[in-house]
Amino acid sequence: MLRERLRTVGVRAACSLASSGILPARLFFTVVLLFLKLLTHTALRLPQHRLRLRSQQSPQSGLGESRFLGHLLRTVEQACRMTEQLYTVASDSETTGEDKSQMSFPDVAIGIDIGTSNCSVAVWTGHQVELLKNTRNQKGMRSYVMFKDDTLSAGVTGGATQEHGHEERDILSGSAIFNMKRLIGRMDTDEVVQASKNLPFLVQTLGIGVRPFIAALVNNMWRSTTPEEVLAIFLLELKALVEMHLKHPVRNAVLTIPVAFSRFQQTRIERACAMAGLHVLRLMPEPTSIALLYAQQQQQLLHDNMGSGIEKIALIFNMGAGYCDAAVTATAGGVSQIRALSGSTVGGEDILQNVMHHLLPDFDSLYAGQTMDRIKSIGLLRMATQDVIHKLATQEHVEINVDLGGGHKVSKILGRGEFEKVNQAIFEKCEGIIKQCLADAKLTPEDINDVILVGGCSKIPKIRSVVLGLCKKDDSYGGIDPLEAAVSGAALEGAIASGVTDPSGSLDLLTIQATPMNLGIRADGGNFAAIIPRNTAVPARRDMMFTTTHDNQTEALIAVYEGEGKQAEENHLLGYFKITDITAAAKGTVEINVCMDIDATNVLRVFAGVVKPQGQAIPPFIEVRMPTLDDGHGWCGQALAKMFGSTLDLAAVPKKLHP
Amino acid sequence: PAPALRRRRRRGSVRARAGAGRGGGRGESPYEVLGVSPSAAPDEIKRAYRRLALKFHPDVNKEANAQEKFLRIKHAYNTLMNSESRSKYASGNTDSSRTYGKSRAPSADEEEQFYGFGD
């Protein structure tokens, strides 16, 4: 039984790696063979065998591949141990009801909150949502992967060190990659990537719209990796942790993502999950998973005869280390309707960098090169600054004394007022996000019943006063843990979307999602014609009519974009395709229908075709799942413009007005 | 009692109201889709929408045509919640396909449209 299981696990893992493109075909077979060979050996001889195979492997394969294989093998070993556990548990623990109920949920998706700084995982146990703890008894685990010699270890198991106090220092040693969530799916022209060059690991940019080069320090050498790979390694460890707890394999997951994530970034998250052997059931914007948890609590109140059952409007503000988002939701009867969403790439990391630059104004000129001294100094300053920011949440003044080495010292007393002035631009951005959200939902502060403040930055007094002030409230909603809400909501969604029902009705819940960004195509020159406007309830389907811009134009380009800009080029290009064989006719007489469809799992499909004139041989409509683009969005748009100019342009047909 | 894993949700009597196919949906009034009376107050319409959403939203209803059904429910809801489109509806324009097709620039409040592709 154990062998059967391990074989399936191994082949499946190898398949998913091969299909996700991380594993070349030649290695695919090696991995499958490896698993089959592993099975023929006893548990006792397994480690030696593993080592031998690994050393054979390394010379022909690239460093990254062998590293990943090494990690894969370790995970398989863990899985092996885990499966053995499963075997004993299944035969021994007939009496424990809880284990049995967990055993009957093999397909229920787990909830994962991958934060820029911290990560957590939760599962539906059959009665409630439970956050899992790692071996160090932490529910919130630091998000990083440590690169040391041949071994990789993620923050799940506290890979950097066994001593908690030293973890932060090791993370900042240059050997760990963190802030993956800020870097994933971004090009080197992105300002977030540019700002990441202050981090202790290597972020190299060329500024031409390609992926940045990212590397960790291993034995005094920069060893390259990618945000997807780092995230995959982290998720592998996380998955092993969950399987250890649940005592059965886990396949499906619901992950929370920032509202500001583009569809392209979402595909990168899905890819990292595939590399880790996880299937993404849903990617939930963080505030919407909190909205689901809120809907459950409101239902519970109603059950206990403490709630009124009247629709309640909540504003959810979530700010972590990397992102900030807001949502307005209308909740009643267990259903939370997302009325508006807005978000931005601004978070605790920006606050940290601002304060670091404030404490050491010549920071950039002092630490220009990527030397060991620089890494150490930046690490020391970063830790001291983090500490100051945390203390300023409860203290009015904090004294800072840190020796950065090389004759540089920072000695200062930082007051809360000064801290707030330094970060004024960030607080203004937060205000902007909330104002936009309220305006989009067509609500005033008086309409809001509850203000829900979550995320690490919600502890900052100024953030609280900004949000509560805008909503004209004295205090925030108290029933939600600011650091556990997102992952709990994700686990709830995981159970609901997996088809679990609860006799007590505690899962009769629903979040009706809304689109965070406009979706449309390029038309009327370089303009952006939004077909599905932002904050449309999902699932959604809308269409628009377009026409040709030249006489006898037989081809048209459908370039699909996502974003808020009025010009197409200001937005994210998701993909493009051509409509061909249009019947030659005077410009403006042809009618081309473009329809966009977002299903409940948030998959976007674009349908397009000619509806007028209906000739003899009318070409079939084209259906394209978006995004189709992989890299270098900016380049593609420019290349298309250069190649075709305006020859394939379309013009939007204004809809006829009502009589 | 341990809760059971069910692929399909319970289906209530509201199912018939939501209509079985696209063809049937065209002729139905938004009131019929939501199962409310033409004099229903906005609160009543909202309640009906939520109740139906809990049964037909594709997140909770795993049947193949759940999305189509939910889109129709959502469409009826949006039509009735928008005072402009509701009054237009009430003023006797019963050719729903025409009403639905001729609106101005889209806004999030407006309704979805239904075409014969996209299943």
Contacts of B107 in chain A (CB under 8 A): 533
**Mean pLDDT value across residues A365-387:** 85
Q: Check CB contact under 8 Å for B53 and A496.
A: no
| Nearest one of A122, A131, A480 to A293, comparing CA atoms | A480
User: Residue A366: pLDDT above 90?
Assistant: no
Please list every residue in chain B whose beta carbon sits closer than 8 Å to the beta carbon of residue A541.
Answer: 71, 112-115, 118
Mean of pLDDT values over A168-195: 92
Residues 6+ apart with CB under 8 A from B65: B21
Among A101, A534, A597, select the one facing B2 at the smallest CB separation: A101
How confident is residue A161, by pLDDT bands cut at 50, 70 and 90?
Answer: low
Question: If you count them, how many residues does chain A have?
Answer: 659
Supply A548's token pair.
């040709």
pLDDT of amino acid A501: 87
> pLDDT confidence of A164, banded at 50, 70, 90?
low
Does B43 sit within 8 Å of A600, measured CB to CB? no
Going along A202-261, which residue ranges are E strands?
202-204, 213-218, 221-225, 252-257
B88 contact residues in A (CB cutoff 8 A): 658
User: Which amino acid is located at A558 in the chain?
Assistant: I
Residues of A with Cβ-Cβ distance to B2 under 8 angstroms:
97, 100-101, 104, 126
Q: Which of B45, B50, B56 to mutate to test the interface with A (most CBs of A within 10 A)?
A: B50
Q: How far apart are CA A177 and CA A148, in angstroms?
A: 11
CB within 8 Å: A508 and B7: no
If one compares B115 and A631, the residue with the highest pLDDT of the two is A631
Confidence of residue A406 (pLDDT cuts 50, 70, 90): confident
Q: What is the ipTM of this complex?
A: 0.79
Q: Please give the residue that has the higher pLDDT: either A422 or A103.
A: A422
Helix axes A63-92, A2-19, angle to 10 degrees: 150
Under 8 Å CB pairs connecting chains A and B tally to 122
Low-confidence ranges of chain B (pLDDT < 70): 1-27, 90-119
pLDDT tens track for A213-272: 999 999 989 999 999 999 999 999 999 999 999 999 999 999 999 999 999 999 999 999
Flag whether residue B71 sits within 8 Å of chain A, measured between CB atoms. yes
Domains of chain A: 109-280 (3.30.420.40), 348-421 (3.90.640.10), 517-652 (2.60.34.10)
Q: Is the pLDDT of residue A294 over 70?
A: yes
Q: What distance in Å separates the CA atoms of residue B119 and residue B116, rounded to the nearest whole number?
A: 8
- Residues of B (9-68) whose Cβ lies below 8 Å from A: 9-10, 43, 46-47, 50-51, 53-54, 57-60, 62, 66-67
Which residues in chain A touch residue B75, judged by CB atoms under 8 angstroms apart? none
**pTM (2 decimals)?**
0.82
Sheet holding A335-344, edge to edge: A450-454, A312-319, A324-332, A335-344, A510-512
Inter-chain residue contact A502 with B104, CB threshold 8 Å: no
Tell the burial category of B46 from Cβ atoms under 10 Å away from its Cβ (0-12, 13-18, 19+): buried
Q: Model confidence over A336-346: pLDDT tens digits? A: 999 999 999 99
Flag if B108 and A332 touch (Cβ within 8 Å).
no
Handedness of CA B52, B55, B60, B65 (dihedral sign): negative
Min Cα distance A94 → chain B (Å) is: 15
Interface mutation vs chain A, best among B46, B55, B59, most A CBs within 10 Å: B59
Mutate to test the interface with A, among B57, B71, B95 (most CBs of A within 10 A): B57
What is the residue-averaged pLDDT of chain A? Answer: 84
What are the chain B neighbours of A500 within 8 Å (beta carbons)? 3, 5-6
